[in-house]
Structure 1
Amino acid sequence: MQTNLADFIKHTPDGQEADAILRSCVHCGFCLATCPTYQLLGDELDSPRGRIYLMKQVLEGQPATQKTQQHLDRCLTCRACETTCPSGVRYGRLIDIGRGVIHKKVTRSTRERSMRYLLNKILPNRSLFTSLFKIGQFFRPLILGKLKKSIPAKIPNSRKWPTKKHQRTMLVLDGCVQPEFSPNINIATARVLDKLGISLITAEKAGCCGALSYHLDAQQDGLNYMRRNIDAWWSLIDEKKNTQPIEAIVITASGCGVTVKDYGHLLRNDPAYAEKAKQISALTKDISEILAAETVNLATLLEKSGQYDKTKLAFHSPCTLQHGMQIRGVVEKILGMTGFTLCAVKDAHLCCGSAGTYSILQPILSQQLLKEKLINLTAEKPDQLVTANIGCLMHLQSGTSLPVRHWIEVLDDILSNHSTQNHK
């Protein structure tokens, strides 16, 4: 694709990156076949190729309109198009740049600005979110309809975080909403790794990965959350200050993982953080990657436990896992080692409609995608649904009576001699 970027962005780092991405697109249209919004709406402006044309026009100096912004807002940033694209177009980065530019040129309605402001101020702020969440749980019995489903009941848990006792140590990101919505996920992760001879620790001052703000027209806020995490982790990572630095940063929410793995790129132009961010990204691993490297030891543990569960599971692979981080088939292989029967899932590459705050900001499209995803996930009548991202977990659970859990929790059940049927 030929380009002629306008002077306002041509010589900036974002402009140079956008120009290279635009030039890599060859207009083939393969992306249309795997774009969820194009499948629903049939409008090419709601496809990756159409949105690329819209962004190109704005970056070349043509006026940005609310219509332009609307088409970009409808994008889930699922990045299924990147998996499909034969030319390797980095669409996810392009739409981040495009949205940032258009945000400065188009004024949103008061309602939209207010909603995005509240989401940006509440969700990444763990102390504020926790307080509001507990109030919601207290009044949950009095709430009716869909709102009640969005506030999970208190989750009983008799399992505890194991004490640190191994030389091998890894660090886990707590994140912002996961500790309240599903605290058992990281506890299960710590317990599984403990059995593999790895201690899992947290950093008290770490918090939101930055993705929520970055995708809510508040890119600087998002970058600041990234810097805060780097500061919180650095003393544990720096070999000059720590004789036994951590081995990896473990991520149990793939939506966070795809962002933390990108810290090095997003902060590449920050002289104070560029090198640190690069090291952070290199250390970051999804929990599936950690366990994939421990399959021999994991197989031994499973054999000793004698617990090979025949529960029928359907696995929803989040877009951030399969398209963002390009991790496919790894979780399924690990679950297969335990004896679980894994259901085949039609159109497994398509998004469930969660996509961070998308389910709040684009509820109609989100619910359509959720309905289709649940039809495909439940086609073979599984006993449970499992996934690898807290946003997907909560979104799926809002539409089904089947239990929806993180896959690491069911693995912990097996290794701890607990039947997954207990959670039905």
Structure 2
Amino acid sequence: MDPELIGDCVHCGFCLPACPTYVLWGEEMDSPRGRIHLMAQHVEGTPLTPEMAGHFDACLGCMACVTACPSGVRYDRLIEQTRAEVERVHVRDPQERAIRGLVFSLFPYPRRLRLLRLPMRLTGPLRGFLERVHPSLGAMAALAPEPGPRSRLPRLVKARGPRRASVGMLLGCVQREFFPQVNAATARVLAMEGCDVVIPPGQGCCGALSVHSGREDQAVRLAKRTIRTFERAGVDTVVVNAAGCGSSMKEYADLLKAEPEWARRASRIRTVDLAEWLAELGPVAPRHPLPLTVAYHDACHLAHAQGIRRQPRDLLAAIPGLTLRELPEPEICCGSAGTYNIFQPRAAAELGDRKAAGLAGIEADLLVSANPGCTLQIASAMRRRGGRVRVAHTAQVLDASLRGVGL
């Protein structure tokens, strides 16, 4: 934990109404400034107690406080440093260690994650049993999507019409295995907008889940593998369609700062979010009408961590016939937050229910987001309400409009 970063906080309280856990519980130690106070205590010599670790674990890492802070406090870096410290010194109970070990031995490895596709089809009837075994297992079952057909993208998707750019594309882990249709739509949209899309084989996890959970060694290893993959592919711009992945990849140089050569290699590869890239590139492909009312949800690691809010809204609003509506409390996290809804299922469910209640009052045909975890989280919350919601990624809506097909 960096004492200088801790010292930047003046404890003004502007972060309080933006913090999801403070909004839920009104507990000072579950606010950003409260957690920074605990960080300072630990830096000054106070042992990291189970209670302190619990307050750090309860943080979603949504970065809404970074947006709200008038003093520029880098809470994003502080909480990642703190979580790494928690993983180093805090001894978790055996059951929690086992659950965390299971998650991080599966989710960052697409081939292993693929093995969950069939079991996830069977978890519905077992959900109550799994919940009794451990709340995290019940949460995983409740979040499970209905896996669609797998699709394999080619190594190169050629630009349609004059080539304007050549970009790499990250497939991701959850996106690749459970939302392959999003990756297919992303590649088509980029190609229709004049990009050669290079999709290197052998891609693995970018390390986002690991770095956000304090598993620094694993995150470094996965980051290096990702850098090597795109270096071999010969691209210097990588387009990412998952907010958490894009946020982490943009911070690779900082993650690898202890190894200057790797930090330099990381800085030579530019990471851009899909909406960010398309807004920068400018449209050339004609849009066809989509008579839909769309509710747009800000993924936290897109809006707060990357500062990308306007671009996806502008892209959607430019589609003829589409009506764009805003969800209430757009700055408050839906409760997904990477693995948060697995490790902190009760708090995540409360936040998901708030988001679902806001969505239910909008009368939208479609919920659109830019992160697979958000999609799973809000759809699960809607099911708890006894309702259903159609969900889509920004790429899928653009793809439907560019191709002139229904969604």
Asked if these proteins are the same fold (TM beyond 0.5), I'd say yes
Give the letter for the 1:108 counterpart.
Answer: R
Which of 75, 89, 95 in structure 2 is aligned with 1:105? 89
SS at match of 1:343: strand
Which stretch has the larger CA shift, 101-110 or 169-178? Answer: 101-110
1:114-159 alpha-carbon deviations (Å, 9 max, x no partner):
111111111101111112323433x467656776653322425899
What corresponds to 2:196 in structure 1?
199
Identify unmatched segments of 5+ residues in structure 2: 129-137, 383-387
Are 1:269 and 2:258 an aligned pair? Answer: yes
Compute the displacement of 1:287 (Å).
0.1
Equivalent residues of 1:192, 1:415 under 8 A apart: yes
**Residue of structure 1 equivalent to 2:220:** 223
- DSSP-derived class of the 1:405 partner: strand
User: 1 CA distance for matches of 2:220 and 2:152?
Assistant: 35
1:329 aligns to what? 310
The Cα offsets for residues 29-53 of structure 1, whole Å up to 9 and x where unpaired, read as 1001110000101100000000000
Give CA-to-partner distance per residue, 1:317-353, whole Å, 9 cap, x none: 1000000001112111110000311113221011000
CA separation of 1:203 and 1:88: change in aligned 2, threshold 3 A = same
Residue 345 of structure 2 corresponds to which residue in structure 1? 363
The answer to whether the Cα contact below 8 Å between 2:327 and 2:358 also exists between their aligned partners in 1 is yes
Please say if residues 162 and 191 of structure 1, whose CA atoms lie closer than 8 Å, have aligned partners that are also in contact.
Answer: no
> 2:301 pairs with 307, 320, 342, which one?
320
Once residues 270 and 29 of structure 1 are traced to their aligned partners in structure 2, the CA distance between those partners, rounded to angstroms, is 37
- 1:160 is displaced (CA, Å) by 7.2
Q: Could you say what secondary structure the match of 1:200 adopts? A: strand
What's the secondary structure of 2:97's corresponding residue?
A: helix
Q: Which has the larger radius of gyration?
A: 1
User: Partner residue of 2:169?
Assistant: 172
* Residue 155, structure 1, aligned to residue 156, structure 2: no
Instruction: Tell me, in whole angstroms, the C-alpha distance in 1 between the residues paired with 2:281 and 2:88.
Output: 47
Query: Which amino acid letter does the alignment assign opposite residue 249 of structure 1?
Result: V
- The 1:337/1:94 distance shift into structure 2, 3 A limit, reads same
Give unpaired runs (5+ residues) of structure 1: 1-14, 238-245
Work out the CA distance in 2 between the residues paired with 1:101 and 1:359: 21
For the 8 Å contact 2:352–2:381, the answer to whether it is kept is yes
Structure 1 residue 209: deviation in Å? Answer: 1.1
Q: Which residue of 2 aligns with 1:130?
A: 114
Distance between the aligned counterparts of 2:214 and 2:8, measured in 1? 26
Q: Given that residues 208 and 248 in structure 2 are in contact (C-alpha distance below 8 angstroms), is that contact kept between their aligned partners in structure 1?
A: yes
Q: Which residue of 1 aligns with 2:132?
A: none
TM-score (norm 2): 0.90
- The answer to whether the 8 Å contact 2:190/2:197 transfers is yes
Residue by residue over 1:261-294, the C-alpha shift from the partner in whole angstroms, topping out at 9 and shown as x without a partner, is 00011111213411101222xx100000111023
The secondary structure found in structure 1 opposite 2:158 is coil
Letter in 2 for 1:150: L
Match for residue 93 of structure 1?
77
Contact 2:325 2:362 in 1 (8 A): yes
Residue 249 of structure 1 aligns with which residue? 238
The change in CA–CA distance for 1:225 and 1:270 in structure 2 (over 3 A counts) is: same
Amino acid at match of 2:107: L
Identity of counterpart residues, as a percentage?
A: 37
- Structure 2 SS opposite 1:293: helix
- TM-score after normalising by structure 1: 0.87
How far did residue 73 of structure 1 move?
0.3
Distance 2:150 2:80 in 1: 39
2:179 is matched with which residue: 177, 182, 186? 182
Query: What's the counterpart of residue 289 of structure 2?
Result: 308
Q: Which residue of 1 aligns with 2:385?
A: none
- Cα distance in 2, alignment partners of residues 251 and 271 from structure 1: 25
